[in-house]
Amino acid sequence: MDRMGNGMYTILIVDDEKIERNGIKFLLKKQAEPFEIYEAPNGKAALEQLCSMRNQGKKIDILLTDVKMPFMDGIELIGAAKEEGFTLKTIIFSGYNEFDYAKQAIHIGVTDYLLKPITAAKLLEAVKKVADVIEKEREDARLMDKYRLEMAENTVLERQRLLRDLV
């Protein structure tokens, strides 16, 4: 896999099957990309973890979640995270090839929807695609900050010039 960008990406893996979480963690840790990986066994625990991390000043970039889990499923988790104001990219994986799930996922703005069994290549491709989007958003934000700074500097220079001309 090509290098995804130059940033660090935080990922929260949510699945009620520990073996699935471990498999995904293993795949991601083999990549050259610097991932900080967290995990949760269900949607309810994941939402609590997101809130706790926000309180600590940390942010999850990518949410990888199963659809079917106890307490709170993946669709409910993403909806609740959006309601709480989280802006994160989401990838759903599911063993269910049902149109209703895919339709709900599209409705709540899921970045990708993968059907189980997921191949390593498919998972890594989906994560790379999301990381590329995040990197572009970060670059756009850096450019906007630079533009704002330049505009502020130009405003100060224009005021100084105006005052000098008035005097």
Q: What is the C-alpha separation between 135 and 68, in angstroms, rounded?
A: 30
**Claim: this prediction has a pTM higher than 0.85:** no
**Start-to-end C-alpha separation, the chain:** 63
Amino acid at position 67, single letter: V
- 53 Cβ contact partners less than 8 Å away, ≥ 6 residues apart: 38, 59, 60
Taking only the tens place, the pLDDT of each residue in 54-112 is: 888 888 898 988 888 888 888 888 889 988 888 888 888 877 666 666 667 777 777 77
> What is the pLDDT at residue 1?
37
> What is the pLDDT at residue 39?
92
Q: Could you give the C-alpha distances from 7 to 12, 16, 61, 65, 132, in angstroms and in order? A: 16, 29, 11, 22, 10
Mean pLDDT of the residues in the chain: 82
Instruction: Check residues 100 and 11 and name the one with the higher pLDDT.
Output: 11
- 163 Cβ contact partners less than 8 Å away, ≥ 6 residues apart: none
Q: Which of 28-32, 83-87, 102-106, 116-120 has the highest mean pLDDT?
A: 83-87
